[in-house]
Amino acid sequence: MQNESPTKATELMQKAVPMMLKLDVAPTPYNYGIWYEYVSNRNQKLNQIMDGTLRKLGHLPGFLARELFHEFLLPEEFQQGNGQKEKLANIVDQAATSSKAMGKGLDELNLVLTKSRKILNRADKAEHIDNVINYLEKGALAATHKANQFNQSLDQVHSELAKLKAELDDMKKQNDVDELTQLVNQKGFERRLYEWLPQAEDDISIILLDIDNLATINKQFGKRAGTALIRYIAEIIKSLAVEKSVLARFEGGTYGILLNEATLDFTHRLAELLRLQISEQKIRYKQSKVHMPQVTVSIGIATLLGQEGPEDFLKRARKNLLRAKQSGKNCTSDR
Ligand SMILES: Nc1nc2c(ncn2[C@@H]2O[C@H](COP(=O)(O)OP(=O)(O)OP(=O)(O)O)[C@@H](O)[C@H]2O)c(=O)[nH]1
């Protein structure tokens, strides 16, 4: 569920509640959540499934509502079960209770209106009209009271959702960080790649960089030295400070750099700059006077082609990295 403005949320609720009442849908948190999403019309797949089921069965079974809620409304982080899920379910529960009350209020108001119409049809004295006016006034007042309560509860739901969203954003950030280097991890890199691609207007490029012979370095100088080297290369990558980029470490000595507004030519030059900078480093062993042998990296680059999807794009960069390794290492390959 997105963080709507109160006006928009009220609008959606006012659409969802009558539909739920018409189809006699139980106001459970799951139902409330998916019907709210349904009327927002922003999730085509969910709407298709719901339309298809309603066509076939005439109603939406409870178990399906629960499954749809989990599949379409709970982001991955909520599903990891760290209290967020319950918090969200409570919020939905709270909103469902107030939407039920609002639904009842609307029903009562409808009843008042129907009765008033009947009385008016038969009214032939001024005092009848007076009675209808009083009756309508009372009905409208009661409905306004319920609507106010409903709006208050919506405000509360919104502030709680905003809190939850901030918690979730923090969690996402923490989940995306590689502890060793403080760069983004592979999952974070891929997440950005999936976010960037659909709205890509300019050239998007990937640099995949891998330390050459890390296994040998580990063997010769120890794993701690190898790990220190992984951190050191990460610092060199950070020092590039390229705008609109995502700097990541995947695993071992492999790094990924995602660049926005970067042509193949620019990316190639940047990759070569990095490669040369790394190969020129004189790295001392355990802060002694002994230097490690020259440390080199191999690089594969790729620039997004037309309608290419994120997986194929990344696969192409990996292929080019492999080609660089197979061409004798310490070089950059873009095909
Ligand atoms: N020191 C250290 N080594 C790691 C870490 N993670 C993975 N490795 C090691 O990195 C090595 C990577 O080995 P390979 O993938 O064979 O690559 P390589 O030896 O660098 O050889 P090429 O990539 O072909 O140049 C493996 O020996 C892993 O055990 C880490 O966090 N620290």
Encoded amino acid at 211, one letter: I
Confidence of residue 287 (pLDDT cuts 50, 70, 90): low
Residue 251 CA to ligand 1 centre (angstroms): 9
Confidence of residue 80 (pLDDT cuts 50, 70, 90): low
Residue located via tokens 């020129």:
280
Q: What is the pLDDT of residue 148?
A: 84
Q: What is the pLDDT of residue 17?
A: 84
Residue 224 CA to ligand 1 centre (angstroms): 12
Q: What is the pLDDT of residue 288?
A: 65
Q: What is the pLDDT of residue 182?
A: 93
Contact present, 168 and 75 (Cβ < 8 Å): yes
pLDDT digits (tens, 9 = 90+) for 81-103: 556 667 777 777 777 777 778 88
Ligand 1 atom at minimum distance from 251 CA: 6
Mean pLDDT of all residues in 167-194: 86
pLDDT digits (tens, 9 = 90+) for 63-78: 788 778 877 877 655 5
Q: What angle do CA 52, 15, 25 make, to 5 degrees?
A: 55
Within the chain, residue ranges assigned H as helices are: 6-22, 29-40, 44-57, 62-68, 76-79, 84-122, 126-175, 186-196, 214-221, 223-239, 264-279, 310-326
Ligand 1 atom at minimum distance from 325 CA: 24
Region of 209 (left: φ > 0; alpha: ψ -120 to 50; beta: rest) is beta
Confidence of residue 147 (pLDDT cuts 50, 70, 90): confident
pLDDT digits (tens, 9 = 90+) for 190-209: 988 888 887 777 789 999 99
* SS3 track for 179-195: CCCCCECHHHHHHHHHH
Nearest CA, atom 14, ligand 1: 215
Residue 227 CA to ligand 1 centre (angstroms): 9
> How many angstroms from the chain centroid is the CA of residue 15?
25
Reduce the DSSP state of residue 5 to 3 states and report it: coil
| Helix 223-239 with 264-279: angle, nearest 10 deg | 140
Q: Give the span between the Cα atoms of 325 and 273, in whole angstroms.
A: 18
pLDDT digits (tens, 9 = 90+) for 295-327: 999 999 999 988 888 899 999 999 999 999 999
Q: Which CATH architecture has domain 186-333?
A: 2-Layer Sandwich (3.30)
Reduce the DSSP state of residue 19 to 3 states and report it: helix
**Which residues' Cβ are closer than 6 Å to ligand 1?**
210-216, 218, 223, 226-227, 230, 252-253, 325, 329
pLDDT digits (tens, 9 = 90+) for 51-62: 888 887 788 887
Nearest CA, atom 7, ligand 1: 252
Percent of the chain with pLDDT over 70: 94
Is 263 a residue whose pLDDT tops 90? yes
* SS3 track for 218-263: HHHHCHHHHHHHHHHHHHHHHHCCCCCEEEEECCCCEEEEEEECCC
Pocket test for ligand 1, best of 186, 211, 218, 232 (most atoms within 8 A of CB): 218
Domain coordinates of the chain in residue numbers?
6-175, 186-333
Residue 302 CA to ligand 1 centre (angstroms): 23
Q: What is the pLDDT of residue 3?
A: 57
208: closest CA among 187, 191, 186? Answer: 186
Residue 334 CA to ligand 1 centre (angstroms): 23
Nearest CA, atom 18, ligand 1: 213
Residue 221 CA to ligand 1 centre (angstroms): 13
Q: What is the pLDDT of residue 202?
A: 76
Q: What is the pLDDT of residue 4?
A: 65
Give phi and psi for 306, each to the nearest 5. Answer: 30, -115
Residue located via tokens 């080297």:
229
Neighbour tally for 271: CB within 10 Å: 24
Q: Give the span between the Cα atoms of 225 and 286, in whole angstroms.
A: 7
Q: For residue 90, what are the CA distances in angstroms to 84, 161, 219?
A: 10, 11, 54
Confidence of residue 156 (pLDDT cuts 50, 70, 90): confident
What is the reported pTM? Answer: 0.60
Exposure string of 208-234, with b = 16+ CB inside 10 Å and e = fewer, is bbbbbebeebbeebeeeebeebbebbb
Confidence of residue 79 (pLDDT cuts 50, 70, 90): low
Is 264 a residue whose pLDDT tops 90? yes
pLDDT digits (tens, 9 = 90+) for 202-237: 789 999 999 999 999 999 888 999 999 999 999 999
Compute the mean pLDDT over every residue in the chain, rounded to the nearest whole number. 85
Q: What is the pLDDT of residue 283?
A: 80
- Least trusted range by pLDDT, from 136-145, 169-178, 214-223, 254-263: 169-178
Is 2 a residue whose pLDDT tops 60? no
Ligand 1 atom at minimum distance from 224 CA: 1
